[in-house]
């Protein structure tokens, strides 16, 4: 059974009597441990799709199953628990608290984890080690470069060791050098066993994936495996 199963998925936004379809009968599966890039121009439906896959929004029709269960199979409390423990989210805008240091930013998801606070520092340090940011743990976001802010945001996304990492245009606010470093960090997380779902309009970031799903006007234009991937630097972060 696939980790993610999407069948004939649609999403229609309503503004009064005006209907705007964002997804039109999308179908695909994603297996555990895959690294999949979802590409498309602005308005193609890729961010809408990510929000549905991440339980941040609901689809209009069709079926989305995660681990064999639809969102309707979960209570509201269970949906929140799945998002917190099974999913990690990386966004283009970093979303770090401005006047809070890196270590405290990374610990934020642990507030809702049910774990003892005595464990939080150790878990946050492991996440920061995984992205090469232990030397910046006492710095506030304003003291970091864009690439460092995104790596701190990645550490926050993985602090609960989620099975799936959703990355929505993670290099969109970065220069090419910083973007490459961030993508190498994400690729290393894939090598450690995380399932990665990357939303991007950039070819160079999509080429880190094993597979590219291209969307156009809310439909799948192509779904292809990548035969020649980019690869991270020879070093690999220790879990």
Whole-angstrom distance, CA of residue 142 vs CA of residue 54: 29
Cα atoms in the 13 Å half-sphere on the side-chain side of 180: 6
- Each residue's pLDDT, cut to its tens digit, for the chain (239 residues) gives 799 999 999 999 999 889 999 999 999 999 999 999 999 998 999 999 999 999 999 999 999 999 999 988 988 888 988 998 899 999 999 999 999 999 999 999 998 888 889 999 999 999 999 999 999 999 999 999 999 999 999 999 999 999 999 999 999 989 989 999 999 999 999 999 999 999 999 898 999 999 999 999 999 999 999 876 555 444 343 33
Residue-wise pLDDT tens digits, 60-116: 999 999 999 998 898 888 898 899 889 999 999 999 999 999 999 999 999 888 888
**Widest CA span of the chain, in angstroms?**
55
Answer whether 162's CB lies under 8 Å from 85's CB.
yes
Beta carbons of 53 and 199 less than 8 angstroms apart: no
The pTM for the full model equals 0.89
Classify the C-alpha dihedral 23-56-147-35 as positive or negative.
negative
Q: Do residues 41 and 201 touch, judged by C-beta distance below 8 A?
A: yes
- The beta strands (E) that lie in the chain are given as 4-15, 18-30, 35-39, 61-66, 87-91, 164-168, 195-200, 211-216, 219-225
Based on the number of CB atoms within 10 Å of its own CB, is 97 exposed (0-12), middle (13-18) or buried (19 or more)? exposed
Using the structure block, give the residue that is written with the tokens 């610990």. 107
Distances in whole angstroms, Cα of residue 49 to Cα of each of 127, 136, 216:
27, 34, 12
């Amino acid at each position: 059974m696939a980790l993610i199963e999407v069948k004939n998925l649609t999403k229609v936004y309503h503004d009064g009597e005006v209907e705007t379809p964002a997804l039109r009968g999308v179908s695909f599966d994603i297996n555990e441990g895959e690294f999949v890039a979802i590409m498309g121009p602005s308005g193609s439906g890729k961010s809408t799709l990510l929000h549905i896959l991440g339980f941040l929004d609901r689809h209009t029709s069709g079926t989305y199953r995660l681990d064999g269960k639809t969102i309707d199979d979960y209570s509201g409390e269970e949906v929140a628990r799945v998002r917190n423990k099974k999913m990690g989210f990386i966004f283009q805008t970093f979303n770090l608290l401005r006047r809070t240091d890196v270590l405290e930013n990374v610990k934020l998801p642990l507030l809702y984890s049910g774990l003892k606070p005595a464990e939080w520092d150790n878990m946050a340090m492991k996440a920061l080690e995984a992205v090469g940011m232990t030397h910046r743990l006492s710095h506030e976001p304003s003291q970091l470069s864009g690439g460092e802010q995104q790596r701190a945001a990645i550490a926050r996304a993985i602090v609960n060791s989620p099975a799936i990492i959703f990355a929505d245009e993670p290099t969109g606010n970065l220069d090419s050098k910083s973007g490459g470093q961030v993508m190498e960090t994400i690729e290393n997380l894939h090598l450690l066993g995380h399932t990665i779902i990357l939303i991007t309009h950039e070819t160079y970031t999509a080429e880190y994936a094993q597979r590219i799903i291209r969307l156009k006007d809310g439909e799948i234009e192509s779904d292809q495996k990548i035969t020649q991937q980019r690869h991270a630097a020879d070093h690999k972060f220790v879990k």
